[in-house]
Amino acid sequence: MTRLTSEYIKDVPTHGADLDSTIEAATGRKLRQLALEAAGLDDDTDLSVFTAAVVPITSGLGVIGGFAQSIDAILTRLGIDSHVTSDTDVKGFSEATLSGADLVFMADDKMFVAYNTRERKFISNHYGTALGYAYILCRSSEGVRGKKVLVIGAGFVGSRSARILRDYGADVTITDIIPEKADMVASELGIRSEHDVESAVSEHMYILNAAPASFPGSIMRPGVIISTSGVPHYFDEEAWSKARAIVHDPLEIGTAFMATCSAAFSIRGEGESR
């Protein structure tokens, strides 16, 4: 799991409108609407009835400057009544629960979760990111049913994205720099794996990139759509000129889908932690 840096997320609190215009150009919808739809919630769902607390966690490599504040800004943009706790770690968690927070967001070096205190269930950032980028790819291509889709990266996010895209009816191929990882996920999901990443990229119009990969525009097909959570994120000029859409951000998409999916536990009264 790639650890974010303060530098990488410094624009998150203010980049909401820019991200929405990129997402809207690709899908015709804004992020909030997509995150509600994917969580099975109505577009007019009022998320302001939910309170959220973001707890900075100092374990392991410690706090990332601006991380909790970025999560807080993302949740506020969704209409959730959010705040960052004044304390960190366990004291911060006790402050969150004593304040009656419905949703508690916290991340150590291994996991980032949205915990629904009412339903006692959580949504991980791995799942929120996988769902978010898969749903954006689906909505960018007027649906992926029967379409060839490439997933790059067979880790936590890539394997979950592949499952979600398969369940959307896509013809999914997965690839990874470690071929055995792709083969394992492929056999588990009943999809194809491809060991030659570059030839796989050159053969697909719909790509979900969940790896810190960067591939040259010279191997891409004109009009390709790339939904890419991978960090670090780099595409050359030819890639930007060829692609119909390249959708990326370091934190907001995954967090927004975590938020709607964790709220959905309360609204829909069903679902399991994931």
Query: What are the contacts of 228-231 at 24+ separation with CB within 8 A?
Result: 228/133, 229/129, 229/132, 229/133, 229/157, 229/253, 229/254, 230/152, 230/153, 231/2, 231/4, 231/8
CB 137 within 8 A of CB 168: no
Q: Tell me 111's DSSP state.
A: -
Query: Judged by CB under 6 A, how many residues of this single chain contact ligand 2YC?
Result: 16
Measured CA angle at 96 (ends 63, 52), to 5 deg: 85
Structure-block tokens of residue 5: 């840096």
From candidates 12, 47, 53, 57, binder to ligand 2YC by CB under 6 A = 57
- Decide: is 125 part of the binding site for ligand 2YC (CB under 6 A): yes
From candidates 15, 19, 56, 249, binder to ligand 2YC by CB under 6 A = 56
Residue 22: CB atoms within 10 Å:
17
From candidates 50, 67, 115, 127, binder to ligand 2YC by CB under 6 A = 67
Q: Cα 19 vs. chain centroid, distance in angstroms?
A: 13
- Decide: is 188 part of the binding site for ligand 2YC (CB under 6 A): no
CB of 244 to ligand 2YC, least distance (A): 27
For ligand 2YC, the binding residues in 103-122 under the rule CB under 6 A are 107-109, 112
From candidates 26, 53, 64, 73, binder to ligand 2YC by CB under 6 A = 64
- Decide: is 1 part of the binding site for ligand 2YC (CB under 6 A): yes
Element (H, E) at 249: none
- Decide: is 3 part of the binding site for ligand 2YC (CB under 6 A): yes
For ligand 2YC, the binding residues in 226-265 under the rule CB under 6 A are 251
CB of 28 to ligand 2YC, least distance (A): 27
From candidates 63, 184, 205, 219, binder to ligand 2YC by CB under 6 A = 63
- Decide: is 82 part of the binding site for ligand 2YC (CB under 6 A): no
CB 225 within 8 A of CB 243: yes
For 193, the 3-state DSSP assignment is strand
**Can you give the binding site for ligand 2YC, defined by CB under 6 A?**
1-4, 56-57, 63-64, 67-68, 107-109, 112, 125, 251
